[in-house]
């Protein structure tokens, strides 16, 4: 079995940060989202991995992931000139996929518990497709599946106005090679894209077996700023363990599950977990509150930060209360006006703000 990760796209909903960083490389708990996907694919026993990349962000993905040796895997990069739909991505990767069954995984999604059992179910049952589904509060925002009593998929609808179920397509799929024949028979949707839902529906019309696997844990789509903050909160809350390797002086207090990586220094400050502080950070005379990740070589001084993601090489000075914020790389925030007590920010990379 092979795996295909979709890591193209422009990350429109996360601009301006995605002008300079692919959305799949944005950090959750100080680890790129794409690395969680690669970890879970490797955990499922798959070592032959293709990654769909775009011309704009592909070089960043290549540099971060490399040849895949970090995951004891082989990575093949598949350029997609235009983002013309998920089924188009599969069509673009057909030479790589050949006649192998494959796992398709959207590169900006996080799945609790991984996909090992999902892959095992496919291996045991050998359907033509196995779809990962999740019950959601508002299925109108997603592709929606209708099942029979055996868990077989009977019908798919993309973003229905009146959904018949609340079972959404998560963005993780397993396909037999028959999917290529289905894709060859579909036409672009009104959006001008080859939709994977149309391809799966074509499989059904061809009399092929399409089964479902219901995800009971969390599923996080990190496509927007608030989604990324929520992913950071959930991962810190669920996966972080206390690991203090940096320097913490006697005037500081570190409470709960806090990660302070090597080379980081905490001086005269309180850090209340879950919090991740990356390598080379400097935290002075500050309070770092729960569900915060601070990227490598960032300085926080005379400030209070909570429920935020701050990327590397940034500087936070005299900000009385920074919350629910996403701060890009190389940003400098400095308080200049005493009227500002609490701020909520979304700041692109290499910016300077006086508040």
- Model confidence at 354, pLDDT cuts 50, 70, 90, reads confident
Distance from C-alpha of 212 to C-alpha of 130, rounded to nearest angstrom: 5
Q: Is the predicted pLDDT of residue 337 greater than 70, yes or no?
A: no
Which top CATH class is 2-223? alpha beta
Region 88-116: mean pLDDT is: 94
- Model confidence at 100, pLDDT cuts 50, 70, 90, reads very high
R_g over Cα of the chain: 22
Distance from C-alpha of 288 to C-alpha of 300, rounded to nearest angstrom: 9
Phi and psi angles of residue 331, each rounded to the nearest 5 degrees, phi first: -95, 140
More confident residue, 9 or 45: 45
The dihedral formed by the CA atoms of 326, 329, 334 and 338, expressed in degrees to the nearest 10: -10
- Model confidence at 339, pLDDT cuts 50, 70, 90, reads low
Q: What is the pTM of this model?
A: 0.91
pLDDT at 11: 64
Distance from C-alpha of 216 to C-alpha of 114, rounded to nearest angstrom: 11
Tokens linked to 24: 């799949």
Cβ(269)–Cβ(284) under 8 Å? yes
Residue-averaged pLDDT of the chain: 92
Multiple choice CATH, 240-354, 1.10.10, 2.160.10, 1.10.940, 3.30.1490: 2.160.10
Phi and psi angles of residue 287, each rounded to the nearest 5 degrees, phi first: -120, 125
Which of 203, 150, 215 is CA-nearest to residue 178? 203
pLDDT at 301: 97
pLDDT at 191: 83
CATH 3.90.550.10 in the chain is located at 2-223
Cβ(346)–Cβ(325) under 8 Å? yes
Q: What angle do CA 82, 11, 273 make, to 5 degrees?
A: 150
Q: Tell me how far CA of residue 289 lies from CA of 28, 145, 223, 242, 253, in angstroms.
A: 16, 40, 24, 15, 12
Q: Is the predicted pLDDT of residue 14 greater than 80, yes or no?
A: no
pLDDT tens-digit series, residues 58-81:
999 999 999 999 999 999 999 998
pLDDT tens-digit series, residues 131-173:
999 999 988 888 899 999 888 899 888 888 888 899 999 889 9
CATH 2.160.10 in the chain is located at 240-354
pLDDT tens-digit series, residues 173-191:
999 999 999 999 999 888 8
Q: Is the predicted pLDDT of residue 106 greater than 70, yes or no?
A: yes
Phi and psi angles of residue 253, each rounded to the nearest 5 degrees, phi first: -130, 125
Tokens linked to 19: 């002008």
Helix and strand numbers (H, E) in the chain are 8, 30
pLDDT at 20: 75
pLDDT at 17: 78
pLDDT tens-digit series, residues 232-287:
999 999 889 999 999 999 999 999 999 999 999 999 999 999 999 999 999 999 99
């Amino acid at each position: 079995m092979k795996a295909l990760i979709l890591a193209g796209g422009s990350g429109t909903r996360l601009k301006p940060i995605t002008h300079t960083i692919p959305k799949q490389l944005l950090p959750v708990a100080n680890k790129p989202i794409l690395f969680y996907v690669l970890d879970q694919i490797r955990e499922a026993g798959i070592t032959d991995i293709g990654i769909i990349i775009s011309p704009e962000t592909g070089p960043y993905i290549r540099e971060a992931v490399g040849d895949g040796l970090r995951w004891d895997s082989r990575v093949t990069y598949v350029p997609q000139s235009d983002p013309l739909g998920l089924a188009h991505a599969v069509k673009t990767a057909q030479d790589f996929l050949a006649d192998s069954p494959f796992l398709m995984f959207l590169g900006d999604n996080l799945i609790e518990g991984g996909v090992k059992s999902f892959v095992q179910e496919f291996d045991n049952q050998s359907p033509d497709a196995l779809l990962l589904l999740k019950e959601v509060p508002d299925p109108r925002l997603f592709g929606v599946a209708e099942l029979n009593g055996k868990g077989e998929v009977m019908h798919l609808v993309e973003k229905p106005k009146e959904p018949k179920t609340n079972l959404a397509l998560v963005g993780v799929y397993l396909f037999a090679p028959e999917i290529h024949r289905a894709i060859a028979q579909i036409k672009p949707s009104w959006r001008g894209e080859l939709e994977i839902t149309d391809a799966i529906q074509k499989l059904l019309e061809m009399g092929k077996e399409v089964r479902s696997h219901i995800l009971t844990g969390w599923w996080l789509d990190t496509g927007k700023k608030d989604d990324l903050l929520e992913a950071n909160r959930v991962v810190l809350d669920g996966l972080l363990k206390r690991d203090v390797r940096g320097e913490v002086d006697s005037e500081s207090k570190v409470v709960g599950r806090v990660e302070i990586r090597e080379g980081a220094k905490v001086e005269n400050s309180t850090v209340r977990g879950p919090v991740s502080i990356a390598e080379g950070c400097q935290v002075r005379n500050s309070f770092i509150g729960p569900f915060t990740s601070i990227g490598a070589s960032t300085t926080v001084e005379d400030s209070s930060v909570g429920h935020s993601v701050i990327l590397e090489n940034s500087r936070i000075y005299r900000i009385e209360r920074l919350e629910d914020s996403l701060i890009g790389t190389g940003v400098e925030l400095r308080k200049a006006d005493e009227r500002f007590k609490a701020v909520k920010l979304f700041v692109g990379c290499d910016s300077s703000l006086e508040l």
